Structure 1
Amino acid sequence: MIAETVCSAVSAAGLGIAAVTAYRKRFLAATRIAAYSLVPVGLVMTGVVEWVADSAFSLTAWAGFGVLGVSWLLFMTTRAVERRRGGTCKERRAAAKEARREAVAPAASAPSLGPATRPAAQPAGRPRKESAADDFSDIEAILKKHGI
């Protein structure tokens, strides 16, 4: 009986707040507040509040909640282990089967073994003399191209 009274009072207060919000021309927020404030009255009318009040003092109900908690804990543990291993057994078998398949173009991923296209490296003792001149000639060509 007390739970029903509290729910009714909460709903009445919520509807009062919704009325004040609507008075301030915030109709969307007022409608949302009114919807939330009608939930406790609806729960009282359907009998859910009475069932919850009876269940709150029932030892069997609390044991049931404990069993549900253990079930949830076991489920989450298996999910964490599954993620750590990289999927379920079925997913791992499918990945291994896919890895065994030959590539569509096996030669496409093979490294090129042809002759080297880069010029041979110069010995460290002799620096290239033309490198600075080459750099400046490139810059001069760019500046001339843009008319500078």
Structure 2
Amino acid sequence: MLAETICSAVSAAGLGIAAITAFRRRFLTAARIAAYALVPLGLVMTGAVEWLARTAFSPTAWIGFGVLGAAWLLFSSTRAVERRRAGRKETAGAAERPAVAPAASAPSHGAGRRGPTTKPKAGSAAEDDFSDIEAILKKHGI
């Protein structure tokens, strides 16, 4: 009974604030405030507030919520284990597959290189930066 009274008072206060907001010609905001204010009143009229009040003070309901939480944990953990096992089977299956051309030689990685790489000198790094900038400026005719 107390919860219904509080919800009704909150709705009445919200509708009052919406009326004042509409008086100030802010109709969109007033409509939004009225919508929020009507939610507690609707919950009281449907009986949801009474049901929530009975559920909040019921030890059986809290034990039921605990059982539902445990069931959700079991479902999610078994799903995670299934995903992990499926991932291991895919990688293990990829390693066991025979090669397409077992007689082919291994690719040589050195054939595509241009030559030995050398580190630029300390003075040449600044010159390289300016030469890039000069090339861009020449390209644009500056």
Aligned length: 120
| RCO higher in structure (CA 8 A, sep ≥6) | 2
1:89 matches 2:85? yes
Equivalent runs, 1:3-82 vs 2, <5 Å = 3-74=3-74, 78=77, 82=80
1:126 aligned residue: none
1:118 aligned residue: 115
- Tell me which structure has the larger Cα radius of gyration: 1
Shift of 1:73: 4.7
Equivalent runs, 1:103-114 vs 2, <5 Å = 110-114=107-111
Q: Tell me, in whole angstroms, the C-alpha distance in 2 between the residues paired with 1:119 and 1:47.
A: 82
Shift of 1:32: 1.4
1:129 aligned residue: none
- What is the identity percentage for the equivalent residue pairs of Structure 1 and Structure 2? 56
CA distance 1:30–1:116, shift in 2 (3 Å): closer
TM-score by length of 1: 0.57
Q: Tell me, in whole angstroms, the C-alpha distance in 1 between the residues paired with 2:117 and 2:51.
A: 87
Amino acid at match of 1:89: R
Q: Tell me, in whole angstroms, the C-alpha distance in 2 between the residues paired with 1:23 and 1:94.
A: 67
Shift of 1:59: 1.8
Gaps of 5+ in 2: 119-123
Shift of 1:93: 3.3
Q: Secondary structure at the match of 2:28?
A: helix
RMSD: 4.1
1:128 aligned residue: none
